[in-house]
Amino acid sequence: MATAANANKQSLKVGLIPGDGIGVEVIPAAKEAILALGSDIPKPEFVDLAAGFEHFTRHGTALPDETVQIMKEECDCALFGAVSSPTRKVVGYSSPIVALRKVLDLYANVRPVISVAADSSQKPAVDLVVVRENTECLYVKQEELKFTENGKEARATRLITERASRHIGQMAFEIAKGRPRKHVTIIHKSNVLSVTDGLFRETVREVPTLPELAGKYDDVTIAEQIVDSAVYRLFREPQIYDVMVAPNLYGDILSDAAAALVGSLGLVPSVNAGDKFIMGEPVHGSAPDIVGQNIANPLASIRSAALMLRFLGYTKGAERIDRAVEEVVREGRELTPDLGGKGTTTGVTEAVLKKI
């Protein structure tokens, strides 16, 4: 995603969408981490934007048109906190993060899952990237409920397209090409869903053979794995994976499961990436049970800011943030309860800022 235009920028305008729950507590930590970088990035400017279920309950819309307009016309990138989508049907409500991914064509959700080694000279025990298709699969949210003579019948449409599968496949190969192992594992269930998952599997496999990409990914090796066995092997032998590319639902489940291998969802970052826009987003949810207690883990949000900067081409700044987070986790003196510590959101943020 790095461009010459990025390199010449005098300022970097970042949209901040805290959303719901602990998003309001962790997005400010990411903002402070960006500010701490000084001259390693263009001068940051921030604009606060509204979205979320709480906004819906107050104003009747989860994603205001103004938020979308400002992101499209004014912002270079954005950070999204969390959303409290209800488990029950709420008339008129639709998840703003799902809507943003579609309206901004953020077709890839990139989720690195990296453990922190006890010594900085050691390799992490877990070092993989889940590349999740971000705009379709069951998340198109086309559902219907019917009443039949046998009772209620619910159906959901699952959409897999060649276009989206090719997009996410190329993103996965591009990421793998820049990593030491250069290996892509395609995750699917085409032994059962031969049409939809079959199309995803075949399209991703064909990416290196496309005429316009001929020879570009010759050094990347390809494997594939049925999704249920992939979950099993992820827990038994995570070291076999480098880049995992998956349809939307599988990628969502796999990345959350992988977070357990590194200690907490509170450590795992992501970006929603498209060809024209990048939006960082911590993988964790809104965590309503700990809202307002100052114990939410800010590290995933801070890491998401670093990942966003890396995609924009500001590698030096991103590395400074990543190293600071690793040092804080490695030292273990200031950690939130999800990582077994007694630290606070404020305390962890301050510890990272000192390291930066």
- The yes-or-no answer on residue 189 being catalytic is yes
Strands 221-226 and 183-188: parallel
Supply the angle between the helices 162-177 and 196-206 in degrees, to the nearest 10. Answer: 40
- The one-character DSSP state at 88 is S
- The yes-or-no answer on residue 139 being catalytic is yes
Cα–Cα distance measured from residue 97 to residue 83, given in angstroms and rounded to the nearest whole number: 7
Catalytic pick among 76, 252, 322, 338: 252
Catalytic pick among 31, 76, 107, 139: 139
Cα–Cα distance measured from residue 100 to residue 272, given in angstroms and rounded to the nearest whole number: 9
Catalytic pick among 72, 228, 232, 342: 228
- The yes-or-no answer on residue 217 being catalytic is no
Neighbours of 17 (CB within 10 A): 27
Amino acid, res. 113:
V
Question: Which residue is listed with tokens 């995750």?
Answer: 187
Catalytic pick among 40, 105, 216, 256: 256
Catalytic pick among 13, 107, 189, 322: 189
Look at residues 244, 108, 110 and name the one whose alpha carbon lies nearest to residue 167: 108
- The yes-or-no answer on residue 228 being catalytic is yes
- The yes-or-no answer on residue 119 being catalytic is no
Cα–Cα distance measured from residue 246 to residue 194, given in angstroms and rounded to the nearest whole number: 15
Question: Residues with catalytic annotation?
Answer: 139, 189, 228, 252, 256
